[in-house]
Amino acid sequence: MAVEAVALSSLPQAPRRLRRGLRRLRRRVRVLLAARLTCVALAAVAGIAVPAVVFLKLRGLWFPPLLPELVLAAAMVVGCVAALVWPLPDGLIAASADRRLGLRDRLGTALQLVRDPEQTGMEQAVVWDALGHVHVAQPGEAFPFRVTRAMKVAGALLLLLGTAQLLPIPALLLSPRGKEDRALLRREAARIEPVAKQLEEEAKRAGDVEAKQLAKKLQLMAKEFQRGQLDRKKALLKLEEADRQLEKAAQRLAPPPPKTAAQAADEMNRAAQRSLAAKAENLAAQAARSGDKQAEEKLRKLAEQARKTQDPAALKKLAQELAKRQAKSGAGRGLPVDFLPQFSMALSDQDWDKLSELMESLDDLPEDLSPEELARLEKDLRALAKALEKTDLSELSKCLGEACQACKGGNCKLSAAALAKAMAAYKKCAGRLKLAKACKACQSGYCMGIGPDDGSHKLIPGLSGAGLYTPRETKTDGSYTKLPGQFQPGGPMITTREQGAPDQSGNSQVPYYEVIGEYSKAAEEALSKEEVPAGYRGTVREYFQSLQAGTETEAKPKTER
Amino acid sequence: MSESAIPTQEEAARQAERFRRLVNDLKTEVGRVIVGMDAVVENTLIALLAGGHVLLEGVPGLGKTLLVRTLSDALDLKFARIQFTPDLMPADITGTNVLWELPTGEREFQFQPGPIFANVILADEINRATPKTQSALLEAMQEHSVTVAGVSRQLEEPFLVFATQNPIEMEGTYPLPEAQLDRFIFKIRVDFPSLSELHEIVNRTTGHLVPKAHQVASREEILSLGAVARQVAVAEHVQDFALRLVLATHPEGDQAADSVKRFVRYGASPRGAQALILAAKVRALMSDRFNVAVEDIKAAALPSLRHRLLPNFEGRAEGVNPDDLIREAVAAVEAGAVRDVPV
């Protein structure tokens, strides 16, 4: 008997000890009950959710993505709360423990007997016997954890729910529209994957963390499209978002926009302004030293005007006046005063000959310039170099930078050598740029800036699409308007000559049958010279044949008349 | 608390220990003479310690008489055997007044006690005696007293009747009335021994040494231990189980099984409930417990109730076994009484 295991001296505490023992058992029961009720609740919810999710997915109806999970979480909470409030009186715990531990109603009987204040010896013995057993009883032994049927069902249903939510609907079950959508998304995925890869590489090169994350996001999205995990609506939303982010990333990763000719000219203008003003002040100071107040006043006025005006022509005029005064005073050797404004205008007009002339004038610079004159020269050359940075003449800019360094060092010979190098660089750039103008391919619009970068501008064979055969000139009334081109680092300068027509929209100005002959001839010439890619020759031929047929029909009534 | 109650739990533990020791000694001693029949011996001891009478049913030659005699030898109780025959008269059991001549020459009636004035009575083949004779035993069994010629004489405690019945020879017998059957605490079926038991029986009884039981306890000890057994605690739900079981044997009861409703005319009386509880108490103490368990009730159900179910015509015609009815009743009550947490 377990009576001996219990201290005999604590008889009055027997009820409390018995209840404490039962409390221990009850805690264990509550935990197991919570597990069971939670599983029951989860099974019930999942049992409803699985067919609902499948139905909604098949129908393509939207539902909040985390709604099943939220309801499941609520079910779990309900299960736990139910377990907490489930009535578990001492009598029930005692009866259950008696049954499970084989105690033969010891606990149940003791629980009833402890209520009686007057107990016989036999009743006391019952209580002590029960205490001895409850003292050694292990809650886990009395109420072991078992995987109940409810748990198995809940597990299976949750698995089913997860599968229904995560996996795409099999193609067999899709409607024709659904199949189309899935095929479309797969094609999109094939398109997105290389973009993502390219973005990843560029992000790695640029060290752009955001772009890297975007690349990963795109790859994930492509996978989702491939697996059919998204419906059309979600896919479109994601694509939209991705497009926005891609645009931002492209802007960040894109090389800085090259300077346009206008920008370079503008910069040069400002530099010219500053230079002119500085030179005028210098001459005014010299005049003041020599006591020529009139000259000083005029020069200071000149300086003021140079600072205010922004018109290149006005600047040129000012520069010429200043040059006269400089020549009169016999000061200021170095770059001609109007060098920068002239350079700016020539650049703006893309007058290569003028630019060549100006560059050649650098050769005439004296080699024995004073430190002051060298400093001024350095300033002017620096302004020129800075303006030409990141343009098509960037090589020239680099050489001018070297010349600046030489001037700063006070080494005229070195600076002269650097200027000669700059001249050579200019010739190289200009030659390349001039050739672009003379390029047949460019003129006919074939290469459109996609020719090889060796100045030849021959058509790159095998290229399709761009500038296949587009009549670039139509015989219309209207003057030629030059539009400024765009400098591209390392690339040809694209010049476009568009004929400005008074009415750009609406009907054409010339009947097509008047020009079709010329165009057909040009097309045949191109076809015979194999300037059209092989795959498109048939199309081109058919096109012009159809036009010719139309021409005969239209021309006939005129002839008959 | 009554005066006879055990005052302390230490005393209760001592008494319980003494009880178990005595029971084990009795079993050992009886086992020296009786081969096998463990359940019969145990039930007999339970009935003895519960202070009830036992009806032993079995074919002749199974050792029923020997069992009773061995028990009385082991307990040093006065033993009397009454062979019931159709011509047995009540006076043959209870005794009678006999005209006696005194040495002075006067005559007077003197009471000659019958064999019933013993502690252990073996009423052999009780169903062969007439109802009148059977009823003479009835008063003694219930009241533990005998009234002869208007004079009531108390029988010495313990007073235990062990009646035997032969289930084969039913021709020319007088089935025991329900009132008398109800007074037996147990009806124990004695089954035929197995081959190994037969071997043992033959070996023991045909050798030169015939085993005999020795006394292991006195009359007073038996009485005191019976009192101890009565103090075993019964929880409310256990008692409830026992009482529901008794009610389940009644065809009109809510928890009666279908077979009970179909084959039973009348179920166990409150004496059946008393028998269940008393027997369960003794069984609990024998099992090293101070409290009665539902298992004790279930174990005592068959011997306590099998003779208290009155089958109806259909039941008799179908030859329904009361044991099966009781088992169904137990199952029905147990199904309704299971208290367990839903984990």
Nearest chain B Cα distance for residue A1, angstroms: 7
Q: What are phi and psi of B109, to 5 degrees?
A: -85, 130
User: Quick check: B13 and A104 CB within 8 A?
Assistant: no
Quote the pLDDT of residue A463: 45
Weakest mean pLDDT among A87-96, A153-162, B141-150, B223-232 = B141-150
Quote the pLDDT of residue A251: 81
B120 and B14 assigned to the same domain: yes
**Rounded CA gap, A416 and A364, in Å?**
10
B141 and B172 assigned to the same domain: yes
**Rounded CA gap, B279 and B51, in Å?**
9
Q: Which residues of B touch A140 (CB under 8 A)?
A: none
Q: How distant is the alpha carbon of residue A515 from its chain centre?
A: 46
Quote the pLDDT of residue A109: 94
Per-residue tokens: B105: 């020459």
Contact present, B58 and B36 (Cβ < 8 Å): no
Quote the pLDDT of residue A428: 73
Q: Which residues of A touch B16 (CB under 8 A)?
A: 1, 125
DSSP annotation of A60 reads T
**Rounded CA gap, B36 and B31, in Å?**
8
Nearest beta carbon to residue A122 from set B238, B290, B342: B290
Closest CA to B289 of B235, B222, B220, B223: B235
Contact present, B67 and B57 (Cβ < 8 Å): no
B108 and B244 assigned to the same domain: no
DSSP A514-527: HHHHHHHHHHHHHH
Nearest chain A Cα distance for residue B183, angstroms: 28
CATH code of residue B79: 3.40.50.300
Is B132 inside any structural domain?
yes
Is B224 inside any structural domain?
no
B158: preceding bond cis by omega (within 30 degrees)? yes
Quote the pLDDT of residue B248: 94
Quote the pLDDT of residue A414: 75
Nearest chain B Cα distance for residue A73, angstroms: 22
CATH code of residue B334: 1.10.8.80
Reported pTM: 0.60
Q: What is the mean pLDDT of the segment spanning B24-39? A: 90
DSSP annotation of A392 reads T
Quote the pLDDT of residue A495: 44
User: Quick check: B339 and A91 CB within 8 A?
Assistant: yes
Q: What are phi and psi of B37, to 5 degrees?
A: 55, 40
User: Quick check: B343 and A120 CB within 8 A?
Assistant: no
Cα within 13 Å of Cα(A293), Cβ side: 0
Size of interface A-B (CB pairs under 8 A): 110
B46 and B127 assigned to the same domain: yes
Mutation to test the A interface, candidates B239, B290, B292, B296, most A Cβ within 10 Å: B290
Domain span holding position B277? 229-338
**Rounded CA gap, A334 and A311, in Å?**
24
Q: Which residues of A touch B5 (CB under 8 A)?
A: 120-122
Q: Which residues of A touch B (CB under 8 A)?
A: 1, 3, 8, 29, 32-33, 36, 88, 91-93, 95-96, 98-100, 104-106, 108-110, 112-113, 118-129, 143
B59 and B18 assigned to the same domain: yes
B48 and B149 assigned to the same domain: yes
B105 and B2 assigned to the same domain: yes
The answer, yes or no, to whether ipTM is higher than 0.90 is no
Q: Which residues of B touch A147 (CB under 8 A)?
A: none
Last residue of a domain, one of B191, B206, B221: B206
Quote the pLDDT of residue A31: 95
B277 and B146 assigned to the same domain: no
Nearest chain A Cα distance for residue B332, angstroms: 18
B246 and B181 assigned to the same domain: no
Quote the pLDDT of residue B229: 93
Residues 6+ apart with CB under 8 A from A98: A104, A105, A106, A107, A108, B293
**Rounded CA gap, A22 and B342, in Å?**
16
Last residue of a domain, one of B172, B206, B240: B206
Nearest chain A Cα distance for residue B16, angstroms: 9
Quote the pLDDT of residue B340: 87
Task: Reply yes or no on whether the pLDDT at B290 is more than 70.
Answer: yes
B200 and B318 assigned to the same domain: no
User: Quick check: A109 and B235 CB within 8 A?
Assistant: yes
Which pLDDT tens digit goes with each residue over B127-140?
Answer: 888 888 888 888 78
Quote the pLDDT of residue A458: 54
B199 and B238 assigned to the same domain: no
CB distance from B3 to chain A under 8 Å? no
Q: What percent of chain A has pLDDT over 90?
A: 22
CB distance from B335 to chain A under 8 Å? no
Closest CA to B164 of B115, B136, B124: B124
B270 and B173 assigned to the same domain: no
Weakest mean pLDDT among A214-228, B238-252, B297-311 = A214-228
CA angle A38, A42, A47 (to 5 degrees): 150
Weakest mean pLDDT among A83-92, A358-367, B100-109, B117-126 = A358-367
Is B200 inside any structural domain?
yes
**Rounded CA gap, A260 and A267, in Å?**
11
Closest-approach residue (CA) in chain A for B232: A122
**Rounded CA gap, A378 and A363, in Å?**
15
Mutation to test the B interface, candidates A109, A122, A124, most B Cβ within 10 Å: A122
Last residue of a domain, one of B138, B172, B206: B206
Q: Which residues of B touch A117 (CB under 8 A)?
A: none
User: Which parts of chain A register pLDDT below 70?
Assistant: 1-12, 255-261, 329-334, 337, 363, 365-367, 430-513, 549-561
**Rounded CA gap, A483 and A505, in Å?**
19
Residues 6+ apart with CB under 8 A from B331: B257
Closest CA to A498 of A470, A465, A520, A521: A470
DSSP A498-512: EE--S--SSS-SS-H
Number of domains comprising chain B: 2
Determine the length of chain B.
Answer: 343
